[in-house]
Amino acid sequence: MSTLLGLVAIGMMTRYLGQAQFGWYVTVISFLGFAGILIDFGLIPVTAQMMSEPKFDKTVLFKNLLGFRFVTAFVFFGIIPFLAWLFPYPREVNIAIGFVSLSFLAISMNQVLIGFYQTKLKMHVQVIGEVFGRLVLIAGLFLVITNALGFLPVMGVVTLASLSYTAMLWLNARRYAKTGFAFDAAIWKSISIKMWPIAVSIMFNVVYLKGDVLILSVFRDQVEVGLYGAAYRVIDILAQTAMMIMGVMLPLLAYAWSRKDTKTFQQRYQQSFDVMMMLALPMTVGLMLTANQIMAMIGGREFVASGKPLQILAIAVFGVYLGGVFGHAAVAINKQKQTMWVYMSNAVITLIGYGIFIPRYGMWGAAWMTVFSELYAGIFLFLIIRYYSKTKLSLVVFGKILLATILMGGTVYYYVPTMHVLISIALGGVVYGTVLVVTGGISQSTIREVVRFR
């Protein structure tokens, strides 16, 4: 539901704003997203890990994590809007960056709250909050569009949606623990020690995650930024599912590893890989086959051209899910420092690639370098986890997933030209699910466990 609402919101904005003004939207979100990732500090996995360990009182630790996050985010997002005026952006973009920074302050606070819900295994609260925020977004966009209020009110609605999401998470957190800000030097020091390898990695990570759009916005016009950004937003929304799943698995992996329960760790690690591949493979193949129809449906005729870069970026989805499994596993086994070289080398290579290919090939160069960066990170993180955990993954279920994906892909490829894209996707989903169940790729007991309410 969250993914569907996100795609509906993107469709409303692309149709209302058009290519150039949607390019403004992409520039605002990418600029602040670049800054937001820089001060991410990995507080979602750090919170989940620290709250799963017996070192500190949980209530005191939670308040200190909230305090640490608020101070660092407030200082940083207080400076960022002024830096935006140094860039050659349209005046409306600079104004929007000023007040949308409140949205990213709220998103930064969410990092601790989401980590808290992961530890409590209450991720349904986060999903409900996200759905609520997207309902606010769609309702606000409807009012803006029907009254033809323009670009800046659209960005105001985006900010309001993020604030609503954070408010929902904060209010619900009070049901499970006391909320508030606290400063304890020993705890802040422990947070800093735990997070600094992740923070350094993320600072390099941001180069290849957001550098493409920022460099594209300098060398190409806002129309091309809008076309590429529309495709990239679809990938962003789909990638959130990977982070949610591994957010659930991280505290379970950390719990087993910290107590030297190797059998349980092996089970959870294998489970993480199987579930992520169960989503990544059909998502990648399905997007490659239906990208043009999806962008036509979401963005309208103006954004049909976004389908081609989306086909390329679909390959990056597989890399995102791979990196999601092994990046979170690295945090669970306390090997953040050992993964730093992956992010650093990836950033350097990808930045050089952006500098070479984006000026020459525009969004095509950006898309292919994004694919490279995600696969590079996923593959090398896998090798590091295999070396340090001494845990091997079974590929039996992966083989069944691959078979189901091939049959699904064939079905979708055959019916896409003659059916509405949603019908062909639904048909492909039925084929994929049926093959998985028949081959034992997923058991009926697992399905019952997933869908049960208790």
Which of 158, 37, 156 minimizes the C-alpha distance to 108?
A: 37
The 8-class DSSP code of residue 176 comes to T
H helix or E strand, kind and range, residue 344:
helix 336-361
Q: Hey, how many other C-beta atoms are within 10 angstroms of the C-beta on 54?
A: 8
Average pLDDT over residues 265-289: 91
Average pLDDT over residues 2-27: 87
Question: Has residue 23 got a pLDDT over 90?
Answer: no
Residues 6+ apart with CB under 8 A from 14: 22, 226, 230, 298, 299, 300, 302, 303
- Which of 123-137, 181-195, 260-274, 375-389 is the least confident region? 181-195
- Which of 32-46, 75-89, 165-179, 226-240 is the least confident region? 32-46
Residue position matching structure tokens 């530890």: 119
Give pLDDT, residue 453: 56
Q: Hey, how many other C-beta atoms are within 10 angstroms of the C-beta on 37?
A: 16
Give pLDDT, residue 161: 94
The 8-class DSSP code of residue 394 comes to P
Average pLDDT over residues 371-399: 91
Q: Hey, how many other C-beta atoms are within 10 angstroms of the C-beta on 419?
A: 15
Q: Is the pTM value of this prediction over 0.75? A: no
Give the C-alpha distances (Å, rounded to integers) separating 107 from 28, 35, 277: 15, 12, 28
Burial class (CB in 10 A: 0-12, 13-18, 19+), 182: middle
Give the C-alpha distances (Å, rounded to integers) separating 207 from 29, 93, 202, 230, 259: 15, 21, 9, 20, 36
Mean pLDDT, all residues of the chain: 85
Give the residue extent of every domain in the chain: 2-394, 395-454
Give pLDDT, residue 446: 66
Percent pLDDT > 70 in the chain is 92
Angle (CA) 438-444-450 rounded to 5° is: 130
What angle separates helix 222-258 from helix 185-219, to the nearest 10 degrees?
150
Question: Has residue 451 got a pLDDT over 70?
Answer: no
Give pLDDT, residue 214: 77
Higher pLDDT, 273 or 191: 273
Give pLDDT, residue 40: 67
Percent pLDDT > 90 in the chain is 30
Higher pLDDT, 42 or 75: 75
Q: Using an 8 Å Cβ cutoff, are 435 and 314 in contact? A: no
Give pLDDT, residue 77: 84
Average pLDDT over residues 262-268: 90
